[in-house]
Amino acid sequence: MSIRVFDRNIVDRKPFLIGLLVLDLDPIASRIIITDRETGLTIRHAHAVHSTFYMNLSYVNLSDFLITMIDDSYTYNAVAVDGVKCELIDAVALGL
């Protein structure tokens, strides 16, 4: 008699690929704005407590992001970084 044990969490699934954008934010920054530099559209506008963003697969391997950090206390000027890339990840493998 043999006993087979199956783990329900291990399933043969196809990968679900998305982009991962991890930002190293200035602690003084209050908000960040992620902009598509080709179209000028705002992709995300968030408080600077968030530093990890999951992006559409169409942005992977493109340098199409313009990241702007804003200080709401008006002590410092806004800082922008151009040409930021996100990396390709498998959301299923990471359990997202």
Look at the pTM and tell me if it is higher than 0.85: no
Any idea where the domains of the chain sit in the sequence? Answer: 17-90
The strand ranges marked E within 1-96 are: 17-22, 31-36, 42-47, 52-55, 65-70, 79-84, 87-90
- pLDDT at site 1: 47
Q: Quote the CA–CA distance of 54 and 58 in Å, as a whole number.
A: 12
| Burial readout 14-43 (b: 16 or more C-beta within 10 A, e: otherwise) | eeeebbbbebeeeeebebbbbbebeeeeeb
Q: What's the average pLDDT block by block, 10 residues per block, for the chain (96 residues)?
A: 50 79 90 92 90 87 88 92 90 77
- pLDDT reported for residue 60: 84
pLDDT of residue 11: 56
Closest by CA to 92, choosing from 5, 9, 16, is 16
